Amino acid sequence: MKVIVSGAAGRMGRAILESLYDEDELELGAALEKKGHPVIKKDVGELIGIGSWGVSVSTFSKKTMASGAAFIDFTYPQGTIQMLEEAEAQGKAMVIGTTGFTADQLGRIESAAEKIPIVLSPNMSIGVNVLYRLIQEASAALGSAYDVEIVEIHHRLKKDAPSGTAIRMGEVLAAARGTTLQQSGRFTRQGNIGVRPVGEIGIQSLRAGDIVGEHTMTFAGPGERIELTHRAHNRNNFARGALMAAQWLVNQKPGLYDMMDVLNLK
């Protein structure tokens, strides 16, 4: 099966290409970058230090979108929506790892999922998706007697905050508590804020250095606290998850899925 990788020169794009090169069941159909990018027309192998792969980096077009059965996108929200239009028109399965979407953009993705299968996941790591399951179980056992704080740390170049993974952690917890993150989330604290409300879900973001990604959810109760932490040592785990999602997705009916569906964790 051939896949199309968008954002080929980015951190995640290169990690996906490295993992794809070692795959036996998947092939590279096209590697895409935005117009004017210096890697356009270069051999993809040069991006990952393997010499020649025989596929050149190209720009988004109807022709390049037709060169694979599944499309993997780690770019930026506006670019994702543009490519979503063509994926929908051609009936392509689409794996979306981009974060930072507006409500309107998420609505557009949901609309497209009525016609094509889409995996939308802020984090394709197997470990992070197991973490979501652990959050559900911890919430069921501990209830609202334990205050919850989420702290996420990423490299200094990450543009959106909080991370999509931190938001998803908060959403999973809120759903387990019978509420929503919009109702219970607290994203900043400053000044005389008063006593912490019962059931509040705090989310804090740190940006520094070259940290790949770290997420911790703390359950703090009377006389004790429990911490659930995931640390990414590199991007290979995300890349492997994205390729796994693409293989799984081409056999699914139109709909909006996430990695917990892919991993059968629901």
Place of tokens 């399965």: 93
Positions marked catalytic: 154, 158
Three state DSSP letters for the chain? CEEEEECCCCHHHHHHHHHHHCCCCCEEEEEECCCCCCCCCCEHHHHCCCCCCCCEEECCCHHHHCCCCEEEECCCHHHHHHHHHHHHHHCCEEEECCCCCCHHHHHHHHHHCCCCEEEECCCCCHHHHHHHHHHHHHHHHHHHHCEEEEEEEECCCCCCCCCHHHHHHHHHHHHHCCCCHHHHEECCCCCCCCCCCCCCEEEEEEECCCCCEEEEEEEEECCEEEEEEEEECCCHHHHHHHHHHHHHHCCCCCEEECHHHHCCCC
